[in-house]
Amino acid sequence: MSCFMLPECILELITNTMRRYLWSGRANARGWAHVAWNKGGDKQIIFSAVHDDNSPNQVRCKEFMRSDGKSWDVDKVKQVFSETDANAILGCPICPIQGDLQVWGHHPTGVHNVKFGYRWIVSNRGMEGDHSSIWKTIVSMATLPKIKVFAWRLCFEALPLGRKLAAVGINPGICKMCQGPVETGLHAFRECPSIKEAFDLSNLSICLPAGEFTDCKAWLESVQLNMNQEQFTFFMTLLWNLWNRRNKWIHDGQLIPQRIVVDYAQLLSADLLNAQETSRASNPSASQERWARPLQDRIKINVDGAFNPTSRKVAVGVIARNSHGMMVDG
Residues that bind Zn ion (CB under 5 A): 175, 177-178, 180, 192
Least Cβ distance, residue 163 to Zn ion (angstroms): 12
Cα 317 to Cα 306: distance, rounded to the nearest angstrom: 9
Shortest approach of Zn ion to residue 237 CB, angstroms? 21
Taking the C-alpha atoms of residue 53 and residue 171, their distance in angstroms, rounded to an integer, is: 51
**Crossing angle (nearest 10°) for helices 229-252 and 258-282:** 140
Buried b (16+ CB within 10 A) or exposed e, 42-72: eeeeeeeeeeeeeeeeeeeeeebbeeeeeeb
Q: How far apart are the first and last CA of the chain?
A: 59
Toward Zn ion, which CB reaches closer, 196 or 259? 196
Q: What's the min distance (Å) between Cβ of 184 and Zn ion?
A: 10
Given the complex with Zn ion, which of 185 and 202 has the nearer CB atom?
185
CB atoms near residue 195 (< 10 Å): 22
Question: CB of residue 194 vs Zn ion: minimum separation in angstroms?
Answer: 6
Cβ atoms < 10 Å from Cβ of 240: 22
Work out how close the CB of 146 gets to Zn ion at its nearest, in angstroms, rounded to a whole number.
24
Q: Which is nearer to Zn ion, 192 or 236 (CB)?
A: 192
Shortest distance, position 246 Cβ to Zn ion, whole Å: 9
Edge-to-edge order in the sheet of strand 313-321: 300-308, 313-321, 327-329
Query: Which of 119, 187 has the CB closer to Zn ion?
Result: 187
Evaluate whether 244 touches 264 at the Cβ level (below 8 Å): no
- Find residue 315's DSSP bridge partners: 306
* Residue placing its CB nearer to Zn ion in the complex, 175 or 198: 175
Cα atoms in the Cβ-side hemisphere of radius 13 Å centred on 242:
27
Of residues 107 and 176, the one with the C-beta less far from Zn ion: 176
Contact indicator for 59, 77 with CB cutoff of 8 Å: no
The minimum distance between CB 161 and Zn ion, in angstroms, equals 10
Q: In this complex, which beta carbon is closest to Zn ion, that of residue 175 or of residue 268?
A: 175
Asked if 200 and 219 count as a contact pair (C-beta separation under 8 A), the reply is: no
